[in-house]
């Protein structure tokens, strides 16, 4: 393999990356956070038959935070640096790629991974049938050459691991050897002999290594399994790594971030334990117990209306009801405070969660905007990630598109393309605010009935299309 990159060196880098992740406890953190997020919050705990309640407020808070940050549909806008002229062909391709890849859904999934696991990542590649294709990659599968640098574009190399079907990898390896009979292979692998790993198990680990060739100024890739090269190094023609990396909270001197869920788990455990102990107390002491004199009552009868025979004497001392123990009301108060404080500190106030009556929409909008301030930095990081994704898409256009619809995409690198991000809110209360504005304009006579109906969102007025059609005909 060229550039002194061999199958053994790639796997050495991969094992070094695994050791780093193990050293910071990433795999255990991700597994624990995922369990708590989906509700498996007593995993590995020996309950001994005791109740294991789960009141998963953690998931609601996290999903609310993610939805608040990613509620706006994102759109990339391209303009030339020198003239400010809009690159209409590039913008049209942005719209098409965003639509075909379902980029908004991918961004939400990436943000969810960042909140739960610590980091989110999007990897883009060229597919012969689909063209530019983007998929979400977990942070446990991404390995940076410089573990102290979180910016992907400054990495000496990036490795992405994947688990693929063994038979598929066998076919790919045989095809590669057939197409390139003189290709270099790792010793002692011989022609026609598959590596031992391909003879065991249904799946095999495949490593994709990316690095930037300083001489050519482009990104190169190679693909390997342990003991063999699946694809020799090739020039992708790209000028930047096709990877978007988004840590939730940046950690100094580490490319892995801190997950939102990690800081919420102790609160969730506290609430679950208080509920569990309260349930134990209720099951053991909540119901009244009867103490009776067995020298005078042979057997107590709990049937409704049943007569209980007493062997002589005054019946007032035959039996006594012991009142149940009372649970301190502070327990319920602390549970409520733990949940409410956690939600409030993350901006999930009652107004933001929709737990208030929508009597004053202006006040609700103001409260929602104020509650979203703590997440503003994360929102800006998401917008920066979208802009980076758009730059990657433009890079693929310049490398693979050629001339389309009379536009030469190869000149994008020469023209100094500047990308601007346009993201607008589309939340429920923003829609109500827009309706209030349109209502006021119509009430003041600033717009006609036809203009009013054109601006009313669908679903507010039944039969809106028919009314508009009648107005336009002049009926």
- Which mean pLDDT values do the consecutive 10-residue runs of the chain (475 residues) have? 75 95 94 91 75 85 83 75 67 89 92 94 93 95 95 94 88 74 44 61 89 88 89 91 94 92 87 84 77 83 81 80 75 80 66 53 51 71 89 91 84 69 49 75 88 78 83 80
Q: What is the dihedral of CA 178, 179, 181, 183, to 10 degrees?
A: -120
Encode 71-106: b = buried (16+ Cβ within 10 Å), e = exposed: bbebbbbbeeeeeeeebebbeebbeebbeebebbeb
Count of residues making up the chain: 475
Q: What is the DSSP letter of 461?
A: S
433 Ramachandran zone, left/alpha/beta (phi>0; psi -120 to 50): alpha
Dihedral angle of Cα 251, 248, 222, 24, to the nearest 10 degrees: 40
- Could you write out the DSSP letters of every residue in 439-460? HHHHHTTSS-HHHHHHHSPTTS
φ, ψ of residue 130 to 5 degrees: the values are -95, -15
Compute the distance between CA of residue 256 and CA of residue 466 in angstroms, rounded to an integer.
55
Query: Six-digit token pair at 306?
Result: 């049943």
Question: Are 64 and 353 a contacting pair, CB within 8 Å?
Answer: yes
Q: How far apart are CA 259 and CA 262, in angstroms?
A: 5
Distance CA 106, CA 126 (A): 17
Helix (H) or strand (E) holding 205: strand 203-213
Cα separation, 456 vs 441, in Å, equals: 12
pLDDT value of residue 454: 82
Cβ-contact 88, 94 below 8 angstroms: no
Q: How far is Cα 285 from Cα 325, in angstroms, rounded to an integer?
A: 6
Looking at residue 247, its pLDDT comes to 94
Report how far Cα 20 is from the mean position of its chain's Cα atoms: 23
Q: How far apart are CA 375 and CA 120, in angstroms?
A: 16
Torsion of CA 351, 354, 358, 360, to 10 degrees: 20
The two structure tokens encoding residue 267: 């609160």
Residue 312, Ramachandran bin (φ over 0: left; ψ between -120 and 50: alpha; else beta): left
The upper half-sphere exposure of residue 67, i.e. CA atoms within 13 Å in the direction of its Cβ, equals 12
CB atoms within 10 A of CB 191: 7
Strand blocks (E) in 23-94? 73-80
Enumerate the H helices of 56-140 as residue ranges: 57-69, 88-101, 103-117
Q: Which of 292, 24, 16, 248 is nearest to 150 (CA)?
A: 248
Enter the tokens of residue 17: 């990356």
CA 70/CA 212 separation, integer angstroms: 32
Residues 122/136, Cβ–Cβ less than 8 Å: yes
What's the pLDDT at 241? 96
176: exposed, middle or buried (C-beta count within 10 Å: 0-12, 13-18, 19+)? Answer: middle
Using DSSP, how many helices (H) and how many strands (E) does the chain show?
14, 16
* Residue position matching structure tokens 């802009």: 387
Q: Angle at which helices 26-38 and 7-23 pack, to 10 degrees?
A: 60
DSSP string computed for 389-403: HHHHHHHHIIIII-E
Per DSSP, the three-state class of 230 is: strand
Domain map (residue ranges) of the chain: 428-473
State the helix-helix crossing angle for 26-38 and 103-117, rounded to 10 degrees. 110
φ/ψ (deg, to 5) at 300: -85, 140
Structure tokens at 357: 């009556």
Would you state the pLDDT for residue 146? 95
pLDDT of amino acid 347: 59
Residue range 290-318, pLDDT digits in tens: 888 888 888 887 777 788 888 877 777 78
């Amino acid at each position: 393999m060229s550039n002194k990159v061999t199958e053994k060196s790639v796997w050495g880098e991969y094992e070094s990356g695994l050791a780093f992740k193990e050293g910071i406890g990433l795999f255990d953190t991700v597994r624990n956070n995922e369990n708590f997020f989906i509700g498996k919050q007593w995993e590995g705990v020996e309950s001994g038959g005791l109740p294991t309640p789960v009141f998963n407020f953690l998931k609601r808070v996290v999903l609310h935070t993610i939805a608040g940050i990613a509620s706006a549909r994102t759109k990339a806008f391209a303009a030339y640096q020198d003239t400010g002229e809009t690159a209409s062909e590039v913008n049209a391709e942005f719209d098409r790629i965003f639509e075909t890849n379902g980029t908004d859904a991918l961004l939400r999934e990436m943000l969810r991974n960042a909140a739960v696991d610590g980091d989110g990542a999007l990897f883009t590649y060229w597919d012969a049938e689909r063209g530019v294709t983007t998929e979400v990659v977990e942070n446990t599968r991404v390995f940076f050459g410089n573990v102290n640098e979180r910016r992907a574009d400054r990495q000496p190399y990036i490795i992405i691991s994947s688990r693929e079907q063994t038979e598929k990898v066998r076919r790919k390896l045989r095809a590669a050897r057939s197409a390139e009979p003189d290709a270099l292979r790792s010793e002692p692998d011989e022609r026609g002999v598959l590596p031992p790993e391909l003879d065991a198990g249904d799946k095999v680990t495949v490593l994709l290594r990316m690095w930037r060739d300083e001489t050519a100024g482009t990104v190169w890739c190679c693909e390997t399994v342990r003991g063999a090269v699946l694809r020799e190094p090739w020039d992708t023609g790209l000028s930047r790594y096709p990877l978007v990396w988004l840590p939730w909270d940046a950690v100094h001197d580490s490319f892995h971030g801190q997950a939102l869920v990690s800081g919420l788990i102790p609160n969730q455990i506290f609430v679950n334990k208080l509920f569990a102990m309260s349930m134990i107390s209720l099951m053991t002491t909540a119901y009244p117990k009867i103490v009776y004199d067995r020298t005078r009552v042979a057997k107590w009868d709990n049937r409704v209306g049943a007569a209980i025979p007493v062997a002589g004497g005054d019946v007032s001392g035959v039996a006594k009801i012991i009142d149940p123990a009372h649970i301190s009301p502070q327990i319920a108060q602390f549970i409520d405070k733990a949940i409410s404080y956690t939600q409030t500190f993350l901006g999930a106030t009652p107004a933001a969660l929709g737990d208030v009556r929508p009597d004053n929409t202006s006040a609700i909008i103001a409260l929602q905007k104020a509650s979203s301030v703590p997440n503003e930095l994360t929102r800006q990081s998401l917008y920066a990630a979208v802009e980076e994704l758009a730059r990657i898409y433009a890079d693929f256009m310049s490398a693979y598109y050629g001339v389309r619809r009379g536009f030469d995409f190869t000149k994008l690198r020469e023209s100094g393309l500047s990308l601007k991000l346009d993201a607008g809110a589309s939340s429920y209360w923003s829609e109500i605010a827009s309706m209030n504005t349109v209502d006021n304009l119509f009430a003041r006579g600033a717009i006609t009935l036809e203009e009013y109906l054109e601006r009313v969102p669908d679903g507010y007025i039944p039969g809106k299309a028919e009314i508009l059609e009648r107005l336009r005909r002049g009926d």
